[in-house]
Structure 1
């Protein structure tokens, strides 16, 4: 419900619903951690997102850090079940840390997310390549914000673009929007590196290839 309310722009109600979910799962996990800690971690990740949307960044960071802590412990005992969620929560943590100005820690978190997704995508590309592309984009964005290693960030966007282009061609148009996002970031990085013509070529492509109308949004 919190996620749906957020999508509808009803952010205050979304936050209330997500906070209630966390309270319930926390109580359940106290009595039966094995059964309910995964759900507690998931709801904490959602809470971090909702708090960030509300501008409550310190609380968002705290919730996301707790989610990572739980998923890391769960993944130690059962990597197959919990490493994907650990990687997702690490990406979220990178965003929260970057917002807090803790850029070095943000880079560490996002890089760990990429490492996990890369390993998972090697074994199961269909399931995890979209996540790898998202984490590469996030890692590059944190580097861009930190103004560190623009060449490394550019390589990461190049890898993400390659994955998204393949996904758009072979699977679904749902990946057009993230492809455009990472291309925009790639253009910004090229500008920072003084590669004006390449940046303008990407921006021209983005102007000439707008997103099609969403058939579900009429």
Structure 2
């Protein structure tokens, strides 16, 4: 590494990024953040000398970093990183839409959530609209490949509208679609998809309460309570 950093830094950045994800998964958020920040630093430097080779990895690391900053409550920094990630993915999409549109869509959804935290509702609504539109279009040709990302973007779309108190009926329909997708995915891989299913069901219950459908909301909350121990064991 010391003698030839250019040869080994890509591998180091990958290892740091993977380490960050693993540390985050076990709740060691500050350590995860430090690892991902170092990965971003390396990848930014590599991108200067060879953008085509390293920009995709930088986009991935920026997305990861934004999520980690969000986890530790550093909203403004997370928002700035999310905006960088979206900008980078937009450039990548120009050259290869099929490869990078899914990443752009998820980055837009993450950006929408962060914009909503900042009270920038119009931009948040626009970002989540675009994220869902991209994934619906991609899923038209291969639904199974894009359904997990579509469910994630639908959940973000619904959350932003719930937070903004706009189109709650539309938000409820979006959670219904996301729940339907997640239930299919849970049947195939419970450990991966039960927690996201519970997250969108919780939002769905809140929307039902706001819209006056108390009986349906109670049924969902009872289901969530019954499955809480299982979700905790898989976290």
**TM-score, with structure 2 as normaliser:** 0.85
Contact 1:45/1:67, CA 8 A, preserved across alignment: yes
Alignment match of 1:59 (pick from 43, 52, 77): 77
Distance in 1 (alpha carbons) for counterparts of 2:213 and 2:233: 37
Written as runs of structure 1 = structure 2, the 5 A alignment for 1:3-22 is 3-22=21-40
In the TM superposition, what is the alpha-carbon distance from 1:190 to its structure 2 partner? 1.0
Aligned in 2, Cα 1:204/1:9: closer, same or farther, shift over 3 Å? closer
Aligned position for 1:202:
220
Written as runs of structure 1 = structure 2, the 5 A alignment for 1:47-196 is 47-169=65-187, 171-173=188-190, 174-196=192-214
1:69-108 CA deviation, whole Å, 9 max, x = no partner?
Answer: 0101110221011111111111111121112111221111
What is the number of residues matched between the two proteins?
A: 216
Structure 1 unmatched runs, 5+: none
Aligned in 2, Cα 1:139/1:82: closer, same or farther, shift over 3 Å? same
Aligned in 2, Cα 1:6/1:188: closer, same or farther, shift over 3 Å? same
Distance in 2 (alpha carbons) for counterparts of 1:212 and 1:84: 30
Aligned in 2, Cα 1:211/1:110: closer, same or farther, shift over 3 Å? farther
Aligned position for 2:42:
24
SS at match of 2:41: helix
In the TM superposition, what is the alpha-carbon distance from 1:6 to its structure 2 partner? 1.7
| Higher mean displacement: 7-16 or 138-147 | 7-16
Aligned position for 1:35:
53
Distance in 1 (alpha carbons) for counterparts of 2:172 and 2:23: 35
C-alpha RMSD over aligned residues: 1.8
In the TM superposition, what is the alpha-carbon distance from 1:8 to its structure 2 partner? 2.4
Aligned in 2, Cα 1:55/1:209: closer, same or farther, shift over 3 Å? closer
**TM-score, with structure 1 as normaliser:** 0.92
1:104-129 CA deviation, whole Å, 9 max, x = no partner?
Answer: 21111111111111111121122111
Aligned in 2, Cα 1:164/1:11: closer, same or farther, shift over 3 Å? closer
Structure 2 unmatched runs, 5+: 1-18
Contact 1:176/1:211, CA 8 A, preserved across alignment: no
In the TM superposition, what is the alpha-carbon distance from 1:211 to its structure 2 partner? 5.3
Contact 2:194/2:231, CA 8 A, preserved across alignment: no
Contact 1:177/1:211, CA 8 A, preserved across alignment: no
Aligned in 2, Cα 1:148/1:15: closer, same or farther, shift over 3 Å? same
